[in-house]
Amino acid sequence: MITSARSYLIVTASYWGFTLVDGALRMLVLFHFFRLGYTPFTLAFLFLLYEAAGIAANLAGGYFASRFGIPRMLAIGQTLQIAGLIMLSMLSPGWGAVASVAWVVLCQGIAGVAKDLTKTASKSAIKATSAEGSGQLFRWVAWFTGSKNAMKGIGFFLGGLLLDLVGFQNALWLM
């Protein structure tokens, strides 16, 4: 039990950190480009590859988990998130609108893959470490899902706060 609970807590804490940053990133991008005067359609377009890449990552997630293992998949997801943040911080105000949008869409696509690889690995790890049967698994997954949604909401707030306090690029580096 101690090993299962410890593994669950490690995975959950890791995913909380990831989800906090992911939520903050979404608001940071949305509000930054809103401030720059981008249209609602363009703002929505910024997240198109984020969602599409997430679908592809979900479809491939089971294969990756069985081939490379759950811990490696979790690490790859978190590494991709860091790469996406670093790439996004390279966005230059001097770039034209088309280049800026294309760059952000690419970075958001990487973030979408990161999100779904990390989510799939985290949920799989919880299922794999639940040694006490389906009742315990149900409680752990319910707590994990509820806490994930709370962390995402806190991340939304954090993204807006960071944009106001330190600006777009500094917020990306802080995350």
pLDDT in tens, 23-33: 999 999 999 99
- Does the pLDDT of residue 34 top 80, yes or no? yes
Mind listing the pLDDT tens digit for each residue in 58-86? 888 778 778 888 888 888 999 999 999 99
Q: Average of pLDDT values for 97-116?
A: 94
Model confidence at 98, in pLDDT bands (50, 70, 90)?
A: very high
Contacts of 76 (CB under 8 A, 6+ apart): 64, 68, 117
Q: Average of pLDDT values for 104-112?
A: 94
Name the burial class of residue 67, with classes exposed (0-12), middle (13-18) and buried (19+) by CB atoms within 10 angstroms of its CB. exposed
| pLDDT given at position 1 | 46
| pLDDT given at position 136 | 65
| pLDDT given at position 143 | 72
- CA–chain centroid gap for 161, Å, is 18
| pLDDT given at position 128 | 67
- As a CATH number, domain 2-127+134-174 is 1.20.1250.20
| pLDDT given at position 64 | 79
- Does the pLDDT of residue 138 top 70, yes or no? no
Share of the chain above pLDDT 70, in %: 88
Q: Average of pLDDT values for 84-105?
A: 94
Taking the model in full, what pTM does it have?
0.84
Q: Where are the domains of the chain?
A: 2-127+134-174
